[in-house]
Structure 1
Amino acid sequence: MAGILDSVNQRTQLVGQNRLELLLFKLVGRQRYGINVFKVREVLQCPPLTAIPKRNKYVRGIAHIRGQTISVIDLSLATGGKAIENTKDSFIIIAEYNRSVQGFLVNSVERIININWEAILPPPKGTSGKQSYLTAVTEIDKELVEILDVEKILEEISPSPTVITKELDTQSINTDLGDRLILIADDSAVARNQVKRALESLGVKMHLVNNGREALTYLQDMAKSCSESVTEKVGLLISDIEMPEMDGYTLTAEIKLDPRLKKLHVILHTSLSGVFNQQMVQKVGADDFIAKFNPDELAQSVQKWLHAD
């Protein structure tokens, strides 16, 4: 597992090409799951876990790894399945989500695959129970691979604040926005609602879509009724990066290549973090990058880029 993360240059070659790399793993049973390699710091054999009092029932304990204390979440338990019993023969995926580092306990880790986001599809509508934790699905080697909504899992364990605490000039925001709306693209219902709740206090109009493909189609349709630019009707785009069918990088690149859309400011708002981000933002032409989820930073970025028009 030591070579699980390659060089920055190799990773950034995927940017804007609508591709990603998935680390495949299993929980309890035969079902395969995937996690974006960009979020993975390390994969290692599960070390001894220390139980902590009053811990969330999905947290199996804490591990001391390279001088850092990391909570270890049983992904099977957290998604409604059985607990992973034999932890000493299991693995921990050390990942960085939403400004913090977590350990995800999994039964086994398989390999890394390179895939196009167009092959990543939204989960079937009306999913419930364990399936409600899916953010996307794909097919590899004629088998279904499920991609978990980790943001939903983390939100259930430790809810994020959605209230804006810093004083902002909402009158300025409303004046800059006028009759235009803010477009929000995110495949996670939890993340969409976090953004929605945070910005509602600013009194702005919003339109929410589930992925980059839907966002691009919406903007293209909207631009047809504009005399020059889609910015006549849309003041700003806030987009996740990891989304089925079309990721946020490709969405941004498509927007900047379209004369009717290129003036639109794009904020990439994502749980992805690490050393790659600024290179990615510059490569695709996004205006800003914000790691999830800090409502004050998001609101301040909205104010900044609306005022930049």
Structure 2
Amino acid sequence: MEQRGILLESGTNELEVIAFEVGTSLFGINVMKVREIIQAPAVTPMPNSHPHVEGIIRLRDEVLTVVNLSNVLGLAPSEKPEQDKLIISELNQIKVAFRVHNVSRIHRISWEQIEKPAELSQGIENACTGIVKMDEQMILLLDFEKIVVEINPEKGINVSQVKVLGERERSQKKIVVAEDSAMLRKLLYETLSEAGYEQVTFFEHGKAAWDYLEFLHNQVGSNIKDEVQLIITDVEMPQMDGHHFTKRIKENDLLSKIPVIIFSSLITKDLYHKGKGVGADAQVSKPEIVKLIETIDQLIL
């Protein structure tokens, strides 16, 4: 399945979700992460691999790792593995094949329909970035980036990576960050602090960050650049996604002068144009934290 024909216009605060089943549960993945969906072929096991890794396959000229979502989620294995599907996904600049039991349909929804899992929720919800309530069913949006990093920690953000930049002066520049993952907010706080940027205000989605900018706009007017010198935003966030957040900033006469960096696992060649279309000043793929800091250094005034 090719995704190019169903991509939405940038900045509409909508997304398309492919719903799929693992066991009796219904999950979802953002269409922007999906390269294609194929019938599951024979998988070559890999010795001493992570328990969630089923093995590898060759798809045309590429060798891909197959992650079994039944294992990840602690659910029963497929009763009919010959009917399973592989969702070929691209995120964090790598391609991964996720084994699922069935793929149902595509839903077009607004990020406003997505709720965050409860902070104290246990079990499957801990692997989710959001919950979509549709009619009488719920679709759980899996945190695929977290799944990949747990299998291969090198694909995550590491404070030690910042040390290659050498000694840094402390900066009083004020940065706003919109990032829905609590784990990534903590890692960004640590890495930005290590890089000398300590005046950072974090928000868990674009709507909260936008409300803050609107409040500042009303309070200080044309002096807003004294309060915010740069904005960093993820793309996938409940309530308001990063593309819509960026579009709103760039459509505002006073806010538009503030540089915006999109820092996301979705910065691929095919999707780069979406960030450009909403006016982002730069786009950096997770987990390239050194490149993010170098980009901040270039843009911050």
CA RMSD across the alignment: 1.9
Answering whether residue 199 of structure 2 is matched by residue 201 of structure 1, we say: no
**Matched residue, 2:16:** 21
CA distance in 2: counterparts of 1:151 and 1:226, whole angstroms: 38
Q: Secondary structure at the match of 2:146?
A: helix
Q: Secondary structure at the match of 2:16?
A: strand
Answering whether residue 278 of structure 2 is matched by residue 284 of structure 1, we say: yes
TM alignment of 1:1-309, pairs within 5 A: 2=1, 4-7=2-5, 11=7, 13-29=8-24, 31-84=25-78, 86-159=80-153, 160-162=156-158, 163-167=161-165, 170-171=168-169, 174=171, 178=172, 180-204=173-197, 205-306=199-300, 309=301
Instruction: Kindly state the Cα deviation for residue 168 of structure 1 after the two structures are TM-superposed.
Output: 5.4
CA distance in 2: counterparts of 1:70 and 1:137, whole angstroms: 29
Question: In structure 2, what residue type is equivalent to 1:34?
Answer: G
Q: Is the 8 A contact 1:79 1:153 kept in 2?
A: no
Q: Secondary structure at the match of 1:94?
A: strand
Question: In structure 2, what residue type is equivalent to 1:193?
Answer: K
The 10-residue stretch of structure 1 (244-253 or 192-201) with the greater mean CA deviation from structure 2 = 192-201
Q: Is the 8 A contact 1:81 1:130 kept in 2?
A: no
Q: Is the 8 A contact 2:93 2:268 kept in 1?
A: no
Output one character per residue of 1:157-184: Cα deviation in whole Å (capped at 9) or x when no partner.
111241214325733x72xxx2x42211
Q: Is the 8 A contact 2:20 2:103 kept in 1?
A: yes
Instruction: Kindly state the Cα deviation for residue 139 of structure 1 after the two structures are TM-superposed.
Output: 1.9
TM-score norm. by structure 2 comes to: 0.92
Question: In structure 1, what residue type is equivalent to 2:59?
Answer: I
Q: How many residues align?
A: 296
CA distance in 2: counterparts of 1:279 and 1:18, whole angstroms: 16
CA distance in 1: counterparts of 2:79 and 2:297, whole angstroms: 49
Question: In structure 2, what residue type is equivalent to 1:14?
Answer: E
CA distance in 1: counterparts of 2:190 and 2:145, whole angstroms: 16
Q: 1:239 to 1:161 in 2, by over 3 A?
A: closer
Instruction: Kindly state the Cα deviation for residue 228 of structure 1 after the two structures are TM-superposed.
Output: 1.4
Instruction: Kindly state the Cα deviation for residue 209 of structure 1 after the two structures are TM-superposed.
Output: 1.2
Q: Is the 8 A contact 2:162 2:195 kept in 1?
A: no
Output one character per residue of 1:176-211: Cα deviation in whole Å (capped at 9) or x when no partner.
xx2x42211111223323322321212322222111
The 10-residue stretch of structure 1 (256-265 or 244-253) with the greater mean CA deviation from structure 2 = 256-265
CA distance in 2: counterparts of 1:129 and 1:141, whole angstroms: 23
The gaps in structure 2 that reach 5 residues or longer are: none
The gaps in structure 1 that reach 5 residues or longer are: none
Q: 1:154 to 1:39 in 2, by over 3 A?
A: same
Q: Is the 8 A contact 1:183 1:206 kept in 2?
A: yes
Question: In structure 1, what residue type is equivalent to 2:164?
Answer: K
TM-score norm. by structure 1 comes to: 0.89
